[in-house]
Amino acid sequence: MSRKTTVIGLILLILLADQGLKFWIKLNHPTGEVLRVFGWNWFRLHFIENPGMAWGWKFGNEMGKVILTLFRLCAVLIGTWYIGKFIRDKYSMGFLICAALIYAGAAGNLIDSLFYGMIFDKGLHYSTVLHDYIGYTGVAQLGEKGYGAFLHGSVVDMLYFPIVQGNFPSWLPIIGGDPFEFFSPIFNIADASISVGVITLFLFQQKLVKKEEPVSPVTGTTNTNVSDQTQIS
C-alpha cells in the first residue's frame, strides 16, 4: 500500500467515525443527556454543543464565530497542501500518520462549523437579544430549514471520561474542599485525533520528523591488479 493511499485512508476513516458518532447522538439524544458506556461510570457519552474552540472557549458574537470558522477553513486548506508536500518529500511513515491525525481532526470539526447550522433544525445558536448562545429542547432532526446559516454551525461533543472524582484536601489553601475531577473535558473523536497526533509528535519528534534517506545504488569494485605481462597462450 502506498503512502498516499495510507494517509488518505486514515483521514477518511477518522472522518467517517467522527461524523457518524456526531450524527447518531445529534439525531437520537437531547443535549445534556448522559449515557454510561457498557455501564461504566468512568466512560460516558455526555452530549453537548460547543460554539467556539476547545474547552468551551467562545470567540465573541456571531462575527467572532464566522472568523473562527474561516480560520479553521484556511488551516485545513493549508494543511491539505502540506500533507501532499510531506508525502512527496518522503517523510517517515510515523510522521505522516501524525500529520493525518491532526488534519482529519481539524477537518472533522470544520464540517460541523460549516454545515451543521444548515442541515439540522435545532442547535446551539447565538441570540441577538440575549447577546449569548442559547440551547434547545428535544432532539434535532435533519430539515430543509436549519438553525443557522453557513459558517454558523456548532461543534458536537460527547466523549467524557470522569476517571477520578472527589474533593481536594481541606488543608490546601484556596481550593481546599472544592470538587476535583480528572478527566473533566468533554470532546469528540476529531479532538482526540488532533491530541494524539500533536502529543505523539511532541514526544517522538526526533524519530518522526525526518525524511527517508535515498537508497544509494550498490556498485562493485575490484582490487585485482592486471599485469601488463600477462600473456595468453
Q: Does residue 178 carry a catalytic annotation?
A: no
Predicted pLDDT at 198: 95
How do the domains of the chain map onto residue ranges?
Answer: 3-170+177-208
Predicted pLDDT at 137: 92
pLDDT, the chain, mean: 87
β-bridge mates for residue 49, sequence order = 156
Percent of the chain with pLDDT over 70: 85
Predicted pLDDT at 56: 57
**Cα atoms in the Cβ-side hemisphere of radius 13 Å centred on 10:** 22
User: Binning pLDDT at 50, 70 and 90, where does residue 233 land?
Assistant: very low
Mean pLDDT, rounded, for 24-36: 94
Predicted pLDDT at 66: 87
Mean pLDDT, rounded, for 39-67: 80
Confidence check: pLDDT of 182 > 70: yes
User: Binning pLDDT at 50, 70 and 90, where does residue 218 land?
Assistant: low
In whole angstroms, how far apart are CA 162 and each of 45, 74, 181, 182, 189?
A: 11, 34, 6, 6, 17
Q: Does residue 157 carry a catalytic annotation?
A: yes
**106 and 216 Cβ atoms separated by less than 8 Å:** no
Q: For residue 214, give every residue at least 6 positions away whose Cβ sits within 8 Å of its Cβ, in sequence order, or none.
A: none
**93 and 3 Cβ atoms separated by less than 8 Å:** yes
Catalytic hit among 89, 121, 178, 191: 191
Residues, the chain, total? Answer: 233
Predicted pLDDT at 165: 87
Mean pLDDT, rounded, for 197-214: 82
Catalytic hit among 18, 112, 121, 157: 157
**Helix (H), strand (E) at residue 67:** helix 62-88
Confidence check: pLDDT of 204 > 70: yes
Mean pLDDT, rounded, for 144-153: 90
